[in-house]
Amino acid sequence: MSDCDEIRPRLTELAFGDLDAEPARDVRDHLARCAACRVEEAAAARTLGRLKATLPPSTERRLAAVQAMSDAGRAAPSRRGWVFTAAAAVLMASASLIWIASSPTPGLRAASVVGGADVFRTSEGRGTPLAAGDRLHPGDRVVAAGGGEVRLEGQGISIVLESAAAVGLAADGRVALERGSLRVETSGARPVKVLDTMNNLVTIRVGRASIRLRDVRVLGTIETRGEDVPAPAPREVTTQRLSVKLTAGEADLDGSHGQRLRVTSGQEGGFEVDGRPFTK
C-alpha cells in the first residue's frame, strides 16, 4: 500500500477536524510533498464548505460526506476509505445514510410505521411524518420515534428501524447507520451493506441479522511535539462502532484499512477502535 492509499482516507477526518495533533501533522507533511493528495484535500475543503451552507444539522453534514465519498471510491476494488472528488461535491447536498444494493432506484417503501416516524427529504429541506405506504427516495432520511418501529421493504430486503434509530437513503448500495439499531433480512438476491462514519462495513449476504452502534471507550492523551509543556491528563472518549449478531446466513466484516472477516450463523462481530474486525 502506498503512502497515498493510507493518507487519502484520512482527508475526511482532517476536513472535519477529527484528527488528533500527531496524525493531523502526518497528513499535512504528506500533503506538502504530494500534489495529487493536495488536489483531493482542496476538493474536500470546498465540499465541506458547500455542505455547511446547505445542510444545517451537523449530523446531516457528516453523513452527506459519507455518501459523496462512497461515490468517489466506488470504482476501487477494495474499500480503504472514502476520497473526496470534485464530482462528489455535487452529490453532497442530496446524500444521506442508508444504501440498499447498487441500483440507483432502491424502490424502498415504508411497509409499517408503529409509534411514529419522520422523513427528512433533502429536496424539500424539511421533515414530515412518515406513513405506511410512503415511497422513499435517495436523499431521504428516516428517524423512528422513541419507542417506535419502522419497517422498510423492497427488492427482497427488509430493514426494521428500532426505537429512535435514524437512517437515510442513497443510491450507492451501502448502509450507514447514524444511531440506534436495525434488524435486517435479505433473501440473498441483494446484499445489505451497513457502514458507520469510520468506514467500517458489515455486508449481510443472505439471512437475518441485528446491527447496532455500540459504545467504545478510549483512554488517551494529545501531545504536542517540540514544546516543553506538561503532558495533559488522560481523558476518556466514547466513540461508536458497528456490531452485528447474525441469526442466520452469512456476513462479512470489512475494516477501514481493508481487513475482512466472515461471520456465520449464530456468531457476533464488530470493530475495534482501530477499525480491526473481530468475531466471537
The per-residue pLDDT for 38 is 76
Q: How far apart are the first and last CA of the chain?
A: 29
Contact by Cβ (8 Å): 12, 44: yes
Specify the 3-state DSSP secondary structure of 52. helix
Its pTM surpasses 0.75: no
Q: How far apart are CA 166 and CA 178, in angstroms?
A: 6
Q: Cell triple for residue 274?
A: 482501530
Confidence band of 229 (pLDDT split at 50, 70, 90): low
* Nearest CA-CA partner of 43 in 78, 79, 6, 92: 92
The per-residue pLDDT for 22 is 83
Distances in Å between the Cα of 221 and the Cα atoms of 15, 21, 37, 187, 275 are 21, 10, 28, 46, 19
Half-sphere exposure of 127 toward its Cβ, with a 13 Å CA cutoff?
17
Contact by Cβ (8 Å): 238, 264: no
* Nearest CA-CA partner of 176 in 223, 242, 233, 125: 242
At the top level of CATH, which class does the domain 96-280 belong to?
mainly beta
Q: How far apart are CA 215 and CA 12, in angstroms?
A: 22
Q: Is pLDDT at 175 greater than 50 in this prediction?
A: yes
Confidence band of 226 (pLDDT split at 50, 70, 90): low
Domain ranges of the chain: 1-93, 96-280
List phi, psi (to 5°) of 15.
-65, -35
Contact by Cβ (8 Å): 145, 117: yes
* Nearest CA-CA partner of 267 in 189, 207, 193: 207
Output 224 or 155, whichever has higher pLDDT: 155
- 233 DSSP assignment: P
Contact by Cβ (8 Å): 277, 260: yes
- 8 DSSP assignment: G
**Share above pLDDT 70 across residues of the chain, in percent, rounded to a whole number:** 65
Average pLDDT over residues 231-245: 77
The per-residue pLDDT for 185 is 96
Amino acid at 173: G
List phi, psi (to 5°) of 77.
-65, -25
Residue with grid cell 501531545, as numbered in its chain: 223
- 92 DSSP assignment: G
Q: How far apart are CA 236 and CA 246, in angstroms?
A: 30
Structure confidence by residue, pLDDT tens digits, 69-122: 545 444 443 333 333 333 343 333 333 343 333 344 456 899 999 999 999 886
* Nearest CA-CA partner of 113 in 131, 90, 139: 131
The per-residue pLDDT for 180 is 93
